[in-house]
């Protein structure tokens, strides 16, 4: 049984990116630059943004965080986006989600310059991705694909079941894995909260990708013998035995029964999590290199 370490994979890809940045910096006279807009003080978002800043520093990127108050108006948020859209020294821009309820997320994301949309959330990028055209691929699905590739998991002709249809993970992952490209070419089934016979469908999966947001919902009885399992979930659970007072769990129950059954599995933490930032770094580098799609 193989534990697919996102941490190790992310570290080797970071080293590759850092080496490339070192080379490119002298040609371009500056380093790639990622900007993040953080609205309010959501602790999870604070952590995500801090991790993104740390990863940027590790690979030699510049990063900036634009902090706006929880009660910022939609107009003022869009003004900040517009300012960054027009800054030639910023290559990538992300607006950390979720946004406060009074803000229309679709409207806000729609104002990001698609050529700087390194999250790949703008309708132009989503549309191009669906059509198989060059675009910025959303970070988490890109991280999953890279993880499978680096772990040498065969995907061609395999049945991949994706559990969860979010715009950020499940839906783009299902599209990318079904594509006629290297490291895809799966037959994909996309399941969600209304799927009947979820267990039976999951048990048909050669590759099971779980991004349903339900702590330890997928147990041994959902898994086919020898399946590859990718666990995208991350949940903080109270744990008195830990110094921090909590432990991190996935959408899959990583108990002995599961570990005995799978041929490979991504751990939580240290699986998909560290790989999502890699997708963001790769997209920012792509923008910096002006490898824009037409
Ligand atoms: N919130 C949770 N995941 C993401 C992500 O990938 N990008 C942004 N911008 N916000 C998120």
Dump pLDDT digits (tens) for 169-218: 999 999 999 999 989 999 999 999 999 999 999 999 999 999 999 999 99
Q: Which atom of ligand 1 is closest in space to residue 119's alpha carbon?
A: 7
**What pLDDT is stored for residue 294 in this prediction?**
45
Which residue puts its alpha carbon closest to atom 11 of ligand 1? Answer: 97
Q: Which atom of ligand 1 is closest in space to residue 140's alpha carbon?
A: 6
Of the residues 65, 81, 97, which should be mutated to test ligand 1's pocket, given the most ligand atoms within 8 Å of the CB?
Answer: 97
**Token pair 């790639």 in the structure block, residue:** 32
Q: Are 193 and 227 in contact (CB under 8 A)?
A: no
**What pLDDT is stored for residue 292 in this prediction?**
62
Own/partner pairs, 49-52, CB within 8 angstroms, 24+ separation: 49/96, 51/277, 52/94, 52/277, 52/280
Q: Are 39 and 96 in contact (CB under 8 A)?
A: yes
**What pLDDT is stored for residue 136 in this prediction?**
96
Output the CA 112–ligand 1 centroid distance in Å.
14
**What pLDDT is stored for residue 290 in this prediction?**
83
Q: Is 139 in the pocket of ligand 1 (CB under 6 A)?
A: yes
Output the CA 225–ligand 1 centroid distance in Å.
33
> Dmax over Cα atoms in the chain, in whole Å?
57
Angle between helical axes of 6-28 and 43-59 (0-180°, round to 10): 60
Residues of the chain with pLDDT under 50: 294
pTM: 0.95
Give the residue numbers annotated as catalytic, written as ranges. Answer: 52, 96, 119
Q: Is 105 in the pocket of ligand 1 (CB under 6 A)?
A: no
Which two tokens mark 187? 């037959």
Mean pLDDT of the chain: 96
247-270 pLDDT per residue, tens: 999 999 999 999 999 999 999 999
Output the CA 205–ligand 1 centroid distance in Å.
27
Own/partner pairs, 147-150, CB within 8 angstroms, 24+ separation: 147/4, 147/6, 147/9, 147/230, 147/266, 147/271, 147/272, 147/275, 148/4, 148/183, 148/207, 148/228, 148/230, 149/182, 149/183, 150/9, 150/12, 150/13
Q: Is 283 in the pocket of ligand 1 (CB under 6 A)?
A: no
Which residue puts its alpha carbon closest to atom 1 of ligand 1? Answer: 97
User: What is the distance, to the nearest Å, from the Cα of residue 123 to the centroid of all Cα atoms in its chain?
Assistant: 17
Q: Are 294 and 26 in contact (CB under 8 A)?
A: no
């Amino acid at each position: 049984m193989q534990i697919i370490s996102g941490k190790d994979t992310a570290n080797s890809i970071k080293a590759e990116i850092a080496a490339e940045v070192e080379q490119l910096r002298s040609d371009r006279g500056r380093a790639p630059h990622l900007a993040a807009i953080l609205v309010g003080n959501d602790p999870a978002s604070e952590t995500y943004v801090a991790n993104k800043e740390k990863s940027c520093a590790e690979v030699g990127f510049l990063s900036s965080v634009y902090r706006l108050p929880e009660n910022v108006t939609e107009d003022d948020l869009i003004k900040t986006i517009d300012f960054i859209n027009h800054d030639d020294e910023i290559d990538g821009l992300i607006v950390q989600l979720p946004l406060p309820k009074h803000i229309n997320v679709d409207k806000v994301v729609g104002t990001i310059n698609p050529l700087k949309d390194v999250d790949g959330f703008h309708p132009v990028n989503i549309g191009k991705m669906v059509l198989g055209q060059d675009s910025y691929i959303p970070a988490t699905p890109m991280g999953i694909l890279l993880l499978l590739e680096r772990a040498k998991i065969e995907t061609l002709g395999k049945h991949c079941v994706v559990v969860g249809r979010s715009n950020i993970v499940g839906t783009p992952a299902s599209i990318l894995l079904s594509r006629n490209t290297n490291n895809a070419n799966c037959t994909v089934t996309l399941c969600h909260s209304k799927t009947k016979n979820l267990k039976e469908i999951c048990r048909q999966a050669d590759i099971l990708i779980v991004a349903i947001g339900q702590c330890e919902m997928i147990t041994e009885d959902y898994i086919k013998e020898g399946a590859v399992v990718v666990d995208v979930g991350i949940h903080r659970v109270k744990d008195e035995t830990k110094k921090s007072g909590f432990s991190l769990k996935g959408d899959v129950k990583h108990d002995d029964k599961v570990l005995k059954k799978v041929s490979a599995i991504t751990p939580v933490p240290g699986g998909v999590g560290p790989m999502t930032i890699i997708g963001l770094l790769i997209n920012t580098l792509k923008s910096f290199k002006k490898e824009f799609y037409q």
